[in-house]
Structure 1
Amino acid sequence: MSQPPPASDCQRAWDSSPEVNTEDDKTEEDVPALKNYLWLSIVSCFCPAYPINIVAFVFSIMSLNSYNNGDVEGAMRLGRNAKWVAIASIIIGLLIIGISCVVHFTRKA
C-alpha cells in the first residue's frame, strides 16, 4: 500500500507549466510618477474663480485615479488639463482681486 509521494504530482505540474518571461514585465518602479498637479489645483481653490478652479481640482483627481488604474496616457492628458485650468483659474482670480481693489480704492467717498 505504498502511495507515490505527493511531491511527484507537484513536480509534474511545475514541469508542464509554461515558462513565464518576467524580464519584460514592468513593475511600479519602472513607471515614473506622473505629475497630477494636485497641489496647484488646491492652491487655485483659494482664488475667487470658483467654477474654474473646481474643474482643475476634478481633472487632478481624475489624473491620479487614471494613473492608479494603469492608464498612463490618460493620466498625462488629464494632468496637463489640470495644470492649464489651474493656471487659468489663478490668473482669473488675480484679475478679479486686482479689479476689485482698483474699484474699491479709486471710488470717491
Structure 2
Amino acid sequence: MAKPETIPQIICADPALGHLLSQWLASQAIAGEVVCSPAICYHAPLCGCLKPVWLEPQGLVRHALLDAVATLERTRHAFKSRELADLRMRLEQLLKDLSAYEQ
C-alpha cells in the first residue's frame, strides 16, 4: 500500500463534484484521493488548501515549530551561527519526539 504522502490529491471545494471525481478515478483504476474537506487531508491538522483551518493548541504549537525550523533553515547561510544551527536541530528533534508521542 502506498504511503499517504505519495498518493496524488485533487483538491475540490464542491463535495458533489468531489464525489463524481472519486467515482471516475475508481472507474479508471487511477490511484488518487479527492479532498473536499481539510479534515480528510493527510496533512491535517495543518491542511489549509480549502480554507484556513482552526487548529487545536497542539496543532498551533506544531505549526509554530515547523515555521521556526523552516525560517532557521532558509536563513542559515545569512546568519552563520552554531547556536542557531543547534537550536534548529533541537527544534527538529522536538518535532520528531512529538510525532512519536502522538502515534
Short-chain TM bin:
0.3 to 0.5
Normalising by the residue count of structure 2, what TM-score does the alignment of the two structures yield? 0.35
Who wins on radius of gyration, i.e. which is larger? Answer: 1
Structure with higher strand content? 2
Larger relative contact order, structure 1 or 2 (CA cutoff 8 Å, min sep 6): 1
Structure with higher helix content? 1
